[in-house]
Amino acid sequence: MQSQDLQHFIDHGHQVYLPHVSIDCAVFGFHENELKILLLKWKHLNGWSLPGGYILRTEHADVAAHRLLKQRTGLDQVFLQQYHTFSGPGRNKIQDSSRAIETNYHVVIPEDNWLKERVVSIGYYALVEYSKVTNPQPDALTETCAWCDIHELPTLLFDHQEMISEALKALRAQLIHHPVGLNLLPKEFTMLELQRLYETILDTTLDRANFRKKLLGLKILKKTGERPSGKAHKTPHLYSFDKRQYAKALKNGISFS
């Protein structure tokens, strides 16, 4: 960001963005049998945070979340779900993040500036295909945007540790009533890969035979006909999601106990 743009953002940002409200997104991906989450390493603070930002004055929060994710991942059409709004008055994001701006740009933000006021944050979680996020982009105040293993999280800033826990809870609850996978897996996948995804999210192990029967019973999968060859052992079938049936299952709900 240029310094004159920055000054404009500090002085007039509240005319463009809705003050006191922000968005934070927990972006989940699946890679090598591990659930990953997209995090940003801050430049002048000792820790990482979820990607987030402000809502435009005339913008729906859902649209803002999509816009912000597009900036970080380059992806459109991401599966996004609002799950909770965090309103603790003690959330010290404001102080910390405006301090980061001051340090980074060598400016002083007045105490009564909109960037130093309390913010309520709307939490979203997103499910994306890991391999499609090849080059996640940090923003002006962060130096790195990277996937982190959900079991090996770095130091998190603000209340983002809680945000991630709650997002995981919401994702697990969602998994029981709605199919998950279309957004996390590549177009074609094996039954075992799908099972590993479920096992990872639910943090448990599942019976291979029963998982197969249950998923096929949902009628949301179709065989692609192709089989990956060249590998050792019996080659598994490849499946893809039947988009029509998947959408129906999303709408009406399923039961994955």
Partner DNA sequence: TCAAAAGTGTTCAATGTACACCCATGC
Partner DNA sequence: GCATGGGTGTACATTGAACACTTTTGA
Residues that bind its own copies (CB under 8 A): 18-21, 55, 57-62, 82, 84-85, 87-89, 118, 120, 122, 173, 177
With respect to its own copies, which residue has the nearer C-beta, 39 or 78?
78
CA distance 6 to 249: 46
Q: How many CA atoms lie within 13 A of 8 on its CB side?
A: 6
With respect to DNA, which residue has the nearer C-beta, 39 or 194?
194
If one asks whether residue 60 binds DNA (CB under 7 A), the answer comes out as no
With respect to its own copies, which residue has the nearer C-beta, 55 or 221?
55
User: Using an 8 Å Cβ cutoff, are 124 and 23 in contact?
Assistant: yes
Query: Closest distance between its own copies and the C-beta of residue 117, in Å?
Result: 8
Distances (CA, A) of 166 to 33, 86, 162, 207: 21, 10, 6, 27
Residue 219 partner contact from its own copies, DNA, none using kind-dependent CB cut-offs of 5 to 8 Å = none
If one asks whether residue 207 binds DNA (CB under 7 A), the answer comes out as yes
Query: Closest distance between its own copies and the C-beta of residue 21, in Å?
Result: 5
Which span sits near DNA by CB under 7 A: 68-76, 121-129, 158-166, 187-195?
Answer: 187-195
CA proximity to 257, closest of 200, 214, 216, 217: 214
Residue 209 partner contact from its own copies, DNA, none using kind-dependent CB cut-offs of 5 to 8 Å = DNA
With respect to its own copies, which residue has the nearer C-beta, 204 or 229?
204
Residue 109, amino acid: I
Reported residue count of the chain is: 257
With respect to its own copies, which residue has the nearer C-beta, 46 or 58?
58
User: Using an 8 Å Cβ cutoff, are 13 and 55 in contact?
Assistant: no
- Give the number of other CB atoms < 10 A from CB of residue 11: 13
Backbone angles phi, psi at 137, to 5 degrees: -105, 125
Contacting residue, 237, 245, 247, 248, with DNA by CB under 7 A: 237
CA proximity to 1, closest of 95, 101, 145: 101
Residues that bind DNA (CB under 7 A): 190-192, 207-210, 212-214, 229-237, 255, 257
